[in-house]
């Protein structure tokens, strides 16, 4: 085996840690599975995901079999809101405190703006049909 085929112990450590993180996080972590209630309301959980990761190591001495290394990682999932769908109307129901930044406020208003635009377009189409 030449140098290109040998795996670096640090890269093996990194690959192992990343594969464990991948198993913990998927798209359903952020936008959850829809929940349909008995009265026909659909609730879709929305979460914020934060991932942190670190890895390091080194060879000790001139012997290549003397390796020391460590890796760590963490995942934080914060529930943010529920998308509530009832009678074709979608609303965002926040779970936590009010948003702090302008970007959060804009994201919070997107479903309401979309509903209003849809209503406006459908009314305009109804008028043009008559």
DSSP assignment of the chain: --TTTSPPHHHHHHHHHHHHHHHH--HHHHB---EE-TTS-EEEEEEEEEEEEEEEEEE-SS-TT-EEEEEEEEEEEEEEEEEEEETTEEEEEE-SSPP-SHHHHHHHHHHHHHHHHHHHHHHHHHHHH-
Top mean-pLDDT range of 2-6, 41-45, 55-59, 70-74: 41-45
Window from 33-42, 66-75, 83-92 with minimum mean pLDDT = 66-75
- pLDDT at res. 22: 76
Residue 2: pLDDT above 50? no
Q: Where are the domains of the chain?
A: 1-96, 97-130
pTM exceeds cut of 0.85: no
């Amino acid at each position: 085996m030449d140098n290109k085929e040998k795996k670096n112990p640090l890269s093996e450590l990194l690959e192992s840690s990343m594969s464990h993180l991948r198993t913990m996080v998927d798209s359903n972590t952020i936008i959850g599975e829809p929940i349909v209630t008995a009265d026909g309301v659909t609730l879709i959980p929305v979460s914020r995901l934060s991932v942190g990761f670190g890895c390091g190591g080194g060879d000790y001495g001139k012997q290549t079999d003397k390796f020391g290394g460590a890796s760590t990682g963490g995942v934080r999932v914060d529930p943010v809101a529920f998308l509530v769908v009832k009678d074709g109307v979608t609303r965002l129901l926040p779970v936590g405190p009010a948003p702090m930044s302008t970007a959060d406020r804009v994201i919070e208003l997107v479903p309401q703006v979309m509903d209003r635009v849809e209503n406006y377009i459908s009314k305009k189409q109804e008028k043009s049909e008559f």
